[in-house]
Every structure is written in C-alpha cells, then in structure tokens.
Chains A and B, each alone.
Chain A
Amino acid sequence: MKTNLVALLAGIIFGLGLALSQMIDPNKVLNFLDVTGNWDPSLAFVMMGALAVSMFSFRFILKRPAPVLESGFHVSKQVSINRPLLIGAALFGIGWGMSGYCPGPAVASLGLLSVEGIVMVVAIYAGFFSHRWFARK
C-alpha cells in the first residue's frame, strides 16, 4: 500500500519536472538534438539537474542494506557492453530523433490530451510487443 503511494507520488514529481523543464514539448527536445541548427542546450541542463541530485543521493541510498519499504533493491547487475545494448540504444536514439519523444514525456503528454502522445505511446507498446515476439523465436 505505502509502496503504491510512493510510486504515485514519485510519478507526479517526475511529471512536474518534465513539464517545468519543458521536456514534455517534443520541439524543445528536437532543438537539443539539432546541434547544427538553432541549438537549445536545455536538455543537457535537465540531465545535470537530475544527476546533481541523484548522483549524490544514490551513493547514500545504495549503501543501505535495503530500501525503506521493501526487502531489497532492484538494481541491474548487468555490466557487459554488448551488441544488444548498443544496437538497442542506437535504434532508440533514431526513434527519439524522429519523434521528439522518449518514453517519459510520451506518457506525461497524455495529461495534455496530446494526440501525438497517444499515437506515440501506442507505437512504443507495438515496439515492446514486437521485440518480445522476436525474442521468443
């Protein structure tokens, strides 16, 4: 119960952050990726703001034996730099550059009743399910 409330609250704060920083606006994101055009470095500052807080907090949090409300941390233990990682990240970047949306802003933009956001979220799930289907073969 408490963990569900935490998830809702964390989602709200994340969504407010995306809206305040305008990362919910796909044009703002594309202007960051448009390094040879009218470049807008804002997205890099969003990452710096997020990393300033999380790099500091994660060091202390991950020293704990367990999180406050659960019995253990769910943290990826993968370390290898392999082909799926790099090919997947490359494909993700191409889709991001085509649309201007990564998953967080796509979901948050549903709150603005964005038709683009709805199409984007459905297309992302189509990608998830296709990947699962191919991975099973």
Chain B
Amino acid sequence: MENFTPVSALLGGALIGLSVSLLLLLNGRMAGISGIMNGLFSAPKKEEVWRGLFLLGLILGAVFFQLLTNNSLQLRQGYPIALIILGGFLVGVGTRMGSGCTSGHGICGIANFSIRSIMATMTFMLTGMVTVFIIKHLLGVA
C-alpha cells in the first residue's frame, strides 16, 4: 500500500462533492458524467450547451492542475491499446444500459440514498476487480 494517498484523495473527493452539489443546487442537475457525455449529441440543442461547457470544464480543471503543479501528472506509457478500445466500448454500452457510471451512481446516486445506485456501484466495483484479477494475475497482461 505504499502508493496510498489518503489526504489528496479525501481533498480531491471533497472538490468532486462540491462540484456535484453546485450543479444540483444551482442548475438542478445530477453530475453523472456518462449521462452528460451521452446527452452532448442526443439532447435538444439548448440542452447541449451546458453539457459541452461542463465537459470543457473537466478538461480545463486537469489543465489548470498541471499548470499549478508544474506538470506533476505523468501519462501512462505502453498500455495495450486494444484494452482501451474494448474497455471504452464496454464503458459506453454499460453506462447507457445501466443508466450511470462512477459519478452518477457512485456519488450522486448514493448521496441521494438510491438503492438502485448502491446496487449498481457494488456491481461495477465487483466486476472491475474481477477483470483486473483476470487480466493482471491470470493472464499476466499489463
């Protein structure tokens, strides 16, 4: 557990909690990122602008962090791109079928005491852990 970073994790998490609270209090929206991404190309036109701006903000947040910390975040190198392509596809299909991802179910849904979201979160945590076990320990990939 030498990579465990509890303080920055809690503080970063609190920022995420602040973000979802602001979006709900002011705009009445749940900050589920997969839903916001999906709606970017499917919601009515006037619905698309705030979605685009929220996603732009996500990108800018990462840029600002790099500027403030002298590029402290490093990119992962050499990870099999096939796992990203297949994984991304499954994330897309799965979050639409299951109506949410880590932010929508795991944070907003649980904060709203939704049993549905608690079940979804337990499910994707479990299959994520099993997948990593298979890929890393059984197959020895990555």
Chain A interface (Cβ < 8 Å from any Cβ of B)? 2-28, 30-31, 33-43, 45-55, 57-58, 61-62, 64, 66-70, 72-76, 78-81, 84-104, 106-112, 114-116, 119-132, 135
Query: Which applies to chain A's interface (DSSP): helix, strand, loop or mixed?
Result: helix
Would you call A103 and B34 a contact (CB within 8 A)? Answer: yes
Q: Are B65 and A73 in contact (CB under 8 A)?
A: no
Chain B: residues with Cβ within 8 Å of the partner, total of 108
For this complex, 19 residue pairs linking A to B, each with C-beta atoms less than 8 Å apart, are A7-B50, A13-B18, A18-B16, A27-B76, A40-B4, A54-B20, A57-B21, A67-B25, A74-B29, A89-B119, A92-B94, A97-B87, A107-B59, A108-B61, A111-B60, A123-B88, A123-B89, A128-B41, A131-B93
Interfacial residues of chain B within 48-81, with CB under 8 A of chain A in the complex = 49-51, 53-66, 73-76, 79, 81
Shortest CB distance B90–A (Å): 3
Interface of B is mostly: helix
Name the B residues within 8 Å of A103 (CB-CB). 33-34, 37, 91, 95, 101-103
Taking a contact as CB atoms under 8 Å apart, the answer to whether B75 and A112 are in contact is: yes
